[in-house]
A = this chain, B = another copy of it.
């Protein structure tokens, strides 16, 4: 798996879930398929009157989620900014050419109410619950930052082996200290809760 394969998989899924934080602080998520893909940027269309547009203009932070036919989750964190005014028409027309159904929704000139945002500098999380052990990985595109999540075992570890026994995925390796195989970790917190000496720390 790699960043480009993840983007290709998003393209195959087609209809993606775009989450933002609402103007009133509530979680917001909606389906979007009006997307044009390049190797480093997702361009997507919305209309200026939608709350989604106002949320993006205020903040720009968006998380994009897809679930593939192969039961993989792909999640992209990015900052979305409107494409420069002079290029709006070009990108709107490109997205409408790639997704003909859009011309039924916004016929003729009415597409002019649209605005195209660009999401580059991507952090991509890949998560597959369908393999055993489960598999996760994190990739970046551009200057996207890799946010550490989950847990780590510190030098306070007394090598009692409790964490290994309670791990649903058996993803902890004995050693000094014991070690979490991050690629196979659910982030469920079993090791964190059960360590008798609090040797397990959150990475976030």
Contact = CB atoms under 8 A, between A and B. Distances in A.
A25 interface: yes
Given A48-B189, A50-B189, A149-B51, A77 B26 contact: yes
Contacts of A75: 29-30
Quick one: copies of this chain in the complex?
2
Interface in A1-59: 15, 17, 19-21, 23, 25-31, 47-51
A61 B21 contact: no
A63 B29 CA distance: 7
Interface in A155-186: 166-169, 186
A29 B65 contact: yes
A49 B104 contact: no
A188 B29 contact: no
Given A113-B193, A134-B105, A50 B188 contact: yes
